[in-house]
Amino acid sequence: MKIFGKVRHRPSASWRQATDRAFTLIGDGRYEDAGALLTRAADLEPWLSESWFNLALLHKFRHDWEQARSAGLRAVALLDRETGAPDWWNVGIAATALQDWPLARRAWQAYGLKVPGEPTESGEPHGMELGSAAVRLSPEGEAEVVWGRRLDPARIEVLSIPLPSSGRRWGEVVLHDGVPHGERVIAAGPSFPVFDEIELWAPSPVPTWVVLLEAATEADRDALERLAADAGFAAEDWSSSVRLLCRSCSESQMPSDEGDGEHLDPHDHSEPGHPGPLGHRTAGAGELWLPERECGIAAPAGLVRGLLDGWVADNPDSREWRDLEEVC
User: Would you kindly state where each structural domain of the chain is located, as residue ranges?
Assistant: 13-111, 132-202
Categorize the per-residue pLDDT at 207 as very low, low, confident or very high, splitting at 50, 70 and 90: very high
Give pLDDT, residue 260: 37
Q: CA-to-CA distance for 21 and 40, rounded, in angstroms?
A: 12
13-111: what fold? 1.25.40
The share of the chain scoring above pLDDT 70, in percent, equals: 80
Q: Put residue 84 in one of left, alpha, beta given phi > 0 → left and psi -120 to 50 → alpha.
A: left
Categorize the per-residue pLDDT at 317 as very low, low, confident or very high, splitting at 50, 70 and 90: very high
Which H or E run contains 20?
helix 13-27
Given a contact cutoff of 8 angstroms between Cβ atoms, the answer to whether 293 and 213 are in contact is: yes
Q: What is the mean pLDDT of residues 198-226?
A: 96
Give CB contacts under 8 A, 24+ apart, made by 263-270. Answer: 268/243, 268/244, 269/244, 269/245, 270/242, 270/243, 270/244
Of the candidate ranges 113-117, 216-220, 224-228, 252-256, the one whose mean pLDDT is the lowest: 252-256
The answer, yes or no, to whether residue 270 has pLDDT greater than 70, is no
CA 317 to chain centre: 40
Task: Give the chain's end-to-end CA distance (angstroms, integer).
Answer: 57
Question: Cα 149–72–50 angle (5° rounding)?
Answer: 115
The pLDDT tens digits of the residues spanning 126-167 come to 778 788 899 999 887 778 999 999 999 999 999 999 999 889
Of the candidate ranges 143-157, 185-199, 261-275, the one whose mean pLDDT is the lowest: 261-275
